[in-house]
Structure 1
Amino acid sequence: MTNLIEYEDASEEVRTVYDDIRATRQTDYINNFWKALANHPPTLKRTWETLKEVMASPGEIDPLMRELIYIAVSVTNGCEYCIASHTAAARTKGMNEQMFGELMAITGAANMTNRLANGYQIPVDEQFKQ
């Protein structure tokens, strides 16, 4: 298991990232994902900057939809940690059990049809190409 770096044990570089996480998310909580990445401060900083840009910046996709997409990809990749953390985040943004059930049905169907299309090596229809 990876060592989890707590705030009081962190370097100044790591504390700066932790402080930004807290400010951006408006919480005092730093979750284990960030504490694990803090073992390599450049990776912590780079990953936080990317996630902050993708997940917290304004855009055409609303915050709940971003979380739902993240859950679907995490389910597909089999990341238990990301499924749990982004499901919790989606619930705070309004996801209910019905939405979660629909999301799992869509994710399962997409994974099935993706595998079938890949297995059969189906050529893409011309009308689908841009």
Structure 2
Amino acid sequence: MLNNWVDQLNNTRAAAAPFGEANPKMLTAFRGLNAAQGSNGALDAKTRELIAIAVAVTTRCDGCIASHASAARQAGATEAEVSDALGTAIALNAGAAYVYSLRAMEAFGQMGK
């Protein structure tokens, strides 16, 4: 097992309390941002959570992975759907590395001129 994700989720939630006491406006704004997400109703909760877990992987956020894995499960996502979403995240990261490699090669080429 790489991580205890239930503990990760609980620890992340517990860590929010001292942060919220020290910076209540920021925590309120963050919660408001999360509450507003999906408010236009164009995507169902399961689709939003599949996107969110894929983004959590691309941003390497363990707290986000735990939170959105839990929310995806609650929204009815299957293991196959989560796996498919994560496959998209993997492909995108490889694509991003490729595109940024092209940028780096271009930058390197321009430095020699």
State the SS of the aligned residue for 2:76: coil
Work out which of the residue numbers 52, 59, 69 in structure 2 matches 1:70.
52
What CA distance in whole angstroms lies between the structure 1 residues aligned with 2:90 and 2:77?
18
Task: Check whether the contact 2:20–2:26 (CA below 8 A) recurs between aligned residues.
Answer: yes
Which of 103, 106, 118 is the matching residue for 2:100? 118
2:24 aligned with 1:41? yes
With the length of structure 2 as denominator, give the TM-score of the two structures: 0.71
Partner of 1:103: 85
Matched residue pairs, number?
91
Q: Which sections of structure 2, spanning at least 5 residues, go unmatched?
A: 1-12, 104-113
Unmatched tracts of structure 1, length 5 or more? 1-30, 122-130
How far apart, CA to CA, are the structure 2 residues paired with 1:32 and 1:75? 22
Percent of pairs with identical residues: 30
- Counterparts of 2:58 and 2:19 in 1: how far apart (Å)? 22
Higher RCO structure, 1 or 2 (CA under 8 Å, sep 6+): 2
1:57-100 Cα shifts (integer Å, max 9, x gaps):
24211111111111111111110011011111011101111111
Structure 1 ranges of 4+ moved more than 6 A = none
Which structure's residues are more often helix, by fraction?
Answer: 2
Q: Cα RMSD (Å) of the superposition?
A: 1.9
Deviations 1:24-73 (A, max 9, x none): xxxxxxx3364253131011111111110014x24211111111111111
The residue number in structure 2 matching 1:80 is 62
